[in-house]
Amino acid sequence: MAIIEVVDLVKTYDRKVAVDGVSFTVDEGEIFGILGPNGAGKTTTVECVEGLHTPDGGTIRVDGLDPRRDRAELRARLGVQLQQSELPDRIRVGEALDLYASFYRDPADWRELLARLGLADRAKTEYRKLSGGQKQRVSIALALIGKPKVAVLDELTTGLDPQARRDTWDLVEQIRDAGVTVVLVTHFMEEAERLCDRIALIDAGRLVAVDSPAGLVSRVDGEQRVRFRPAAPLDVALLTELPEVSHVERHGPQLVVTGTGNLLHAVTSVLARNQIVAADLRIEQAGLDDAFIRLTGRKLTE
């Protein structure tokens, strides 16, 4: 069942269109990703859903509520982790949670919440003395303190080291398993692929596709890449004439052969016939990045 419905959302800033006719629905209990490059309109989209901005067009329903008209009620049901939002330097973690808990009718037990987020021993620590990962977890705690039905997490792991990032991912899965619908805004392919049940791909304010990670990948399925460094000069034409090969690119000493079917076998056979050794041979399956390039014509991180 859909808990969020966005239909033809339009938002313009100073005549610049930030979001241009985006529609999608988020089902109850899923982790829904909003993926796209920086400046694609992801944050604007979710901030309209949160009721922080008034859309210039389209309709939004969150759990049956209109984010602008039913502001107060929406805020009680929606937990928000904002991109770049801090707390006062000297507030203690426990104080911040206790304060925010007092804003809601039926808040979660903040001590239990801190323990779940691995911050039990930080309750008396001042905010300014926390590490980046800890601040991010406090931010998640504040988003969950009101026992929301939906949690919107914006650029959750930006600036975190790889270990903290993986810990945070586990946390997001726990949130979903506890029955909270999660909307995850990210520009990390790996994050979206690992966590999301479904992903909305957004580029330049427009919705490119909505599908499961596997569904998106299957749109470019069958495509693979073989990457290697030929030990001796190799006539590229020998490869391009193979039926399995769609194209060949040269990256310095490396060759990247893209194609379908039994690509690896076809390429290695040619090499063997010409007695050329392939060093550093790797085979790569198509992933979300390839899907993104195929769907938008450009790379995600540029």
Contact residues for another protein, defined by CB under 8 A: 50, 52, 72, 75-76, 78, 80, 82, 84-88, 90-91, 95, 98-100, 102-104, 126, 142, 146
- Three-state DSSP at 237 gives helix
Count of beta carbons in the 10 Å neighbourhood of residue 158: 16
CB contact at 8 A, 20 and 8: no
Nearer to another protein, 111 or 225 (CB): 111
Nearer to another protein, 75 or 198 (CB): 75
CB of 247 to another protein, least distance (A): 47
Nearer to another protein, 67 or 213 (CB): 67
d(CA 209, CA 297): 13
CB of 98 to another protein, least distance (A): 7
Nearer to another protein, 133 or 146 (CB): 146
Nearer to another protein, 54 or 275 (CB): 54
The encoded tokens of residue 43 equal 């944050």
Nearer to another protein, 10 or 99 (CB): 99
The encoded tokens of residue 116 equal 């779940």
The encoded tokens of residue 62 equal 């969150």
Which residues contact residue 24 at a Cβ distance below 8 angstroms, ignoring those fewer than 6 apart? 6, 32, 200, 207, 210
- Three-state DSSP at 192 gives helix
CB of 213 to another protein, least distance (A): 28
CB of 31 to another protein, least distance (A): 20
Alpha carbon distances (Å) from 269 to 34, 165, 260, 277: 42, 42, 15, 11
CB of 141 to another protein, least distance (A): 12
CB contact at 8 A, 238 and 248: no
The encoded tokens of residue 125 equal 């620590």
CB of 78 to another protein, least distance (A): 8
Nearer to another protein, 16 or 250 (CB): 16
Phi (first) and psi of residue 226, to 5 degrees: -115, 130
CB of 103 to another protein, least distance (A): 4
**Pick from 1, 83, 17: which is nearest to 46 by CA?**
83
d(CA 98, CA 84): 21
